[in-house]
Structure 1
Amino acid sequence: MNASKILQQLMKQASGSRSSGNSGNGIDVKGVIDGLSRQLGGGSSSAGQGSRQGGGSSGFDMKSLLGGGAMGMLIGSKRGRSMGGKALKYGAIAGVGMLAWKAWQSSQEGKNAANSSNAAQNASEGERVEVLSGEYQERRSLELLQAMIMAARADGHIDEQEQALITEQIDALGADQEMHRWVEQQLNAPLDAQTLAREADSPQAAREMYLISVAVTDDQNPMERAWLDQLASALNLSPDMAAELERQAQQAG
């Protein structure tokens, strides 16, 4: 399985989407997602035909999706999803490891100023996903991809057609056959915060899993808010830590 490659591609997409917006040579993420939402949103057959033709800025263009589509599918393709900043936290995905670490550091300010064992304490927290390698990076990448997919499903609006498109986009990023099957399984697995939380291999992993979940949810949606609360509890995150992770995600944009 090549989970680390897929996660790195998604992080790069997130970084590019955040920096380029809808101008210059960047992918027009909003236009792509708007067109996809219209195709999948139960509109008229003529609208569907127009989007398939690919004409105009609002058309559904699979070639464009191959550039930024996996991010768009996971974050913004669901019917009724707001295109506001709250639902599209690209920066939080691009810097998930560093932001999760910053949240922990912020929570420790003033607590251990005179503690000579800070280095050992830091080591016990676990490494950031960005600095892991080999099998450790692969495992963390799977944890984060699983968290992202479950969070994207939290409002119950990903149907079979959307699942197929998400899988196709992951394949376009270079997923091998094992990864392809794993993604399909995750798109159909029961939403279970406890099962997901057991995959966390360190406190840092737990923080990253929560932060990346925040990045693909809208906390104003009751179902998605409930999922975040369940996950925070399952990951044994204190209310203060969960709030700090959410603050870091919102600031990253």
Structure 2
Amino acid sequence: MSLDSLFSSLSNSKSDPKSLLGGLLGSSGAQGALGGAASGALVSMLMNGKARKKIQKNAVKVGGMAAIAGVGYYAYQKWQQSKQDSAPAQVQVLPAAAPAANLIPPPLPPDLAGASFQVRVTGELPMKMVLAMIAAAAADGTIDSVEMSALADAIDNAPVEAAEKARLTSALNKPPTVEEIAGLANGPEEASEIYGAALTSIEVDTPSEHLFLRRLSKALDLDEQLVATVHETLEKA
């Protein structure tokens, strides 16, 4: 993605970057959702303008990372549901002791907003998503020195531990490869959430960006229909 339009929108905005996403850092719920990854300013800068506008309303309510993770989470649930709906009916003989609750799939969230409230953004997932966003933003190699400085400053001001700041700074100076990002994913649902996060940082309007997303989806071992559903989810948000 070219970050030119993104930083243009930031500089032309009447708000400070830290106030983007509806005063994300001032929300008690947002602090927990951002836990251990980045401040609202960094997440805002990494998203492309279109994605930021689409996700902003959910981010104010549930936190930036939960709103972004909701894209991949909702797409994954929709994809799972479509697989179940298309599967041929089978008669199963179940052991008497099998608990019926385990046979009922989780209900499909009603929409992206519902998914953002349901998704669990805990542990290392926020960091994994931000690393994917950094790699995506750098995919076409057009982050200039001014943009780099702004992102580095956002990392410096992020309310996270020194070790996490160092990890983010390292990623900014040397973005992780698609293979390294894929190695962070813990299962297909998380892989979908990481891919969705990367997608929010990219305009998908250059060959290098298309190639990045193809390589990332392959490295994450995502089904083609699932990938299409992630794109559709963000487009219709």
TM-score, normalization by structure 2:
0.64
| Deviation of 1:208 (Å) | 0.3
**2:144 paired residue number:** 159
- Judged with a 3 Å threshold, the aligned counterparts in structure 2 of structure 1 residues 96 and 162 are, in CA distance, closer, same or farther, namely closer
**1:64 paired residue number:** 16
After the TM superposition, which residues 69-88 of structure 1 pair with which residues of structure 2 at under 5 Å, given as runs?
69-76=41-48, 85=50
- Judged with a 3 Å threshold, the aligned counterparts in structure 2 of structure 1 residues 96 and 177 are, in CA distance, closer, same or farther, namely same
Does the 8 Å contact 1:206/1:235 carry over to 2?
A: yes
C-alpha distance in 1 between matches for 2:200 and 2:9: 22
Unaligned stretches of 5+ in structure 1?
Answer: 1-30, 38-57, 77-82
| Deviation of 1:65 (Å) | 2.4
Does the 8 Å contact 2:7/2:147 carry over to 1?
A: no
Please, which moves more after superposition, 144-153 or 159-168? 159-168
- Judged with a 3 Å threshold, the aligned counterparts in structure 2 of structure 1 residues 233 and 120 are, in CA distance, closer, same or farther, namely farther
TM-score, normalization by structure 1:
0.61
Q: Secondary structure at the match of 1:154?
A: coil
Does the 8 Å contact 1:32/1:64 carry over to 2?
A: no
Does the 8 Å contact 2:179/2:219 carry over to 1?
A: yes
Pick one of 178, 183, 190 that aligns with 1:193.
178
Count of residues in correspondence between the two structures: 188
Q: Work out whether 1:238 is the aligned partner of 2:223.
A: yes
Q: Secondary structure at the match of 1:210?
A: helix
- Judged with a 3 Å threshold, the aligned counterparts in structure 2 of structure 1 residues 247 and 162 are, in CA distance, closer, same or farther, namely same
| Deviation of 1:114 (Å) | 5.0
Pick one of 73, 85, 90 that aligns with 2:55.
90
After the TM superposition, which residues 66-215 of structure 1 pair with which residues of structure 2 at under 5 Å, given as runs?
66-68=18-20, 69-76=41-48, 85=50, 90=55, 95-107=67-79, 108-109=81-82, 110-112=85-87, 114=89, 119=102, 131-132=119-120, 137-215=122-200
Does the 8 Å contact 2:45/2:151 carry over to 1?
A: yes
C-alpha distance in 2 between matches for 1:225 and 1:102: 22
C-alpha distance in 1 between matches for 2:138 and 2:230: 20
Counterpart AA for 2:86: K
Does the 8 Å contact 1:151/1:213 carry over to 2?
A: yes
| Deviation of 1:182 (Å) | 0.9
Cα RMSD (Å) of the superposition?
Answer: 3.7
**1:220 paired residue number:** 205
| Deviation of 1:229 (Å) | 0.6
